[in-house]
Amino acid sequence: MVQTVLVTGGTGYIAGELIDQLLEAGKNVHTTVRHAAKSEPRLRGRWPDAGERLKVFQADLMSDAGWAEANAGCDAVAHVASPFPLAVPRNKDELIVPAREGTLRALRFAKEAGVERFVQTSSAAAIAYGQPEKDHFDHTDWTRIEAGVPPYIESKTVAEKAARDWVAENAPEMVFCSVNPVAVFGPVVNDDLSTSIEMVKLMSDGSIPAIPNMGISVCDVRDVAKTHAAALDAPADLVRNERFPTATKFMWMTEMADALRARAPELAGKVAKRKMPDWIVKMLAPFVPAMKQVRGELGNVRDVSGHHTEEVLGFTFIEPEQTLEDTLRSLVTQGIVKA
Ligand code: NAP
């Protein structure tokens, strides 16, 4: 069992839940943040009783500073940090370079510190894109970036491939695996919303008057963290070189809206009921960046299976309707969505 884990990007949605579960399990946690002066008080506020069991280090994916200190004394790394913006950047290297170089930097410093196990937060983005002939995917599938994919998709695919190549060549003794979540929902604990949660917020606060013909595979942040935690502690032979997709079900956005209305009717009054015709999405796409992303997804099914993860790691994921309900309830509790 690992005792001290470095979780990169402690300010993030997934990393926060993972830190929570690791502290709860009695582990010591090191975490990196980009701006310690701003972030450390926030993290201390979330885990006021952690004391010396939580150590915060300043380290950016694009610089060597701080990484040796963050890794010192750790026996495992969960590399969660990666740029995950809502908008598509003008220059795709704004995502690809930190994703790839940040992962290689984290691996290099982990190896130098004698870390034995490294779990990379990859994504279904590295599984289910650039293959128009397919609509069902699992851990054996790889995104084909040569087919032309959006920058974030490319960044996650390139980063996972680079990590696997680097480990094979430079640290074959290291136990490496990836966790590949689909869109992550679930309870939020503050107003710093991850891109996936922004979707539920926009659906629920009346910002979207009609729902586009788009679908998404759903998973729960608690299961994503649990998968990381299980992969950190499982026998080496069970997880070495594995890919662990976290996914429950592919849902059209209209089905997600229906689930929110059915599970939390008193809070879902502003959830749109009308469908947005495809021609409106196409018309808005040149002017509204979010619509540009939606246009590429109109009518697409990307159903990613998480069964492999449940089988290998031995637990069952939370049902998606529960996840969506808990997301909305927490957005209301945090005052982010007004019921
Ligand atoms: P998030 O809340 O936006 O967290 C992203 C984290 O990465 C933040 O802590 C951020 O730090 C950090 N980061 C970004 N650029 C950095 C840089 N140059 N140097 C250091 N840290 C940097 O997003 P999340 O949902 O938790 O995502 C975490 C991971 O899960 C990412 O690898 C993402 O690709 C992956 N993932 C997410 C989803 C999803 O639906 N949420 C699905 C699949 C995979 P700051 O706070 O300083 O910005």
Alpha-carbon span 275 to 78, nearest angstrom: 40
Q: Identify the domain containing residue 111 by its residue range.
A: 4-181+220-246+304-317
For residue 335, is it within any domain? Answer: no
DSSP conformation class of 89: P
For residue 283, is it within any domain? Answer: no
For residue 31, is it within any domain? Answer: yes
Mutation to probe ligand 1, out of 82, 121, 189, 293 (largest number of atoms < 8 A from CB): 82
Indicate which residue's Cα is closest to atom 32 of ligand 1.
82
What is the pLDDT, as a whole number, of residue 288?
A: 77
> Is the CB of 12 inside a 6 Å radius of any atom of ligand 1?
yes
Question: How many structural domains compose the chain?
Answer: 1
Nearest to residue 246, comparing CAs of 262, 258, 270, 230? 230
Count of CB atoms within 10 A of residue 241's CB? Answer: 11
Nearest to residue 213, comparing CAs of 287, 288, 272, 260? 272
Indicate which residue's Cα is closest to atom 47 of ligand 1.
34
DSSP conformation class of 332: H
Count of CB atoms within 10 A of residue 62's CB? Answer: 12
For residue 287, is it within any domain? Answer: no
> Is the CB of 61 inside a 6 Å radius of any atom of ligand 1?
yes
Asked if residue 66 lies in contact with residue 105, where contact means CB atoms within 8 angstroms, the answer is no
For residue 96, is it within any domain? Answer: yes
CATH number, residue 145: 3.40.50.720
Mutation to probe ligand 1, out of 8, 14, 198 (largest number of atoms < 8 A from CB): 14
For residue 130, is it within any domain? Answer: yes
For residue 336, is it within any domain? Answer: no
Q: Which residues pair with 276 in a beta bridge?
A: 212
**pLDDT per residue of the chain (339 residues) written in tens, 0 to 9:** 889 999 999 999 999 999 999 999 999 999 999 999 999 999 999 999 999 999 999 999 999 999 999 999 999 999 999 988 777 777 899 999 999 999 999 999 999 999 999 999 999 999 999 999 999 999 999 999 999 999 999 999 999 999 999 999 999 999 999 999 999 999 999 998 888 898 899 889 988 889 999 999 999 999 999 999 999 999 999 999 999 999 999 999 999 999 999 999 999 888 988 999 889 889 888 877 778 778 888 989 999 999 999 999 999 999 999 999 999 999 999 999 987
Alpha-carbon span 43 to 269, nearest angstrom: 34
Q: 194 C-alpha vs ligand 1 centroid, how far in Å?
A: 8
For residue 329, is it within any domain? Answer: no
> Is the CB of 9 inside a 6 Å radius of any atom of ligand 1?
yes
What is the pLDDT, as a whole number, of residue 192?
A: 87
Contacts of 114 (CB under 8 A, 6+ apart): none
Tokens standing for 261? 């209305």
Q: 11 C-alpha vs ligand 1 centroid, how far in Å?
A: 8
Alpha-carbon span 162 to 143, nearest angstrom: 14
What is the pLDDT, as a whole number, of residue 107?
A: 98
What's the whole-model pTM score? 0.96
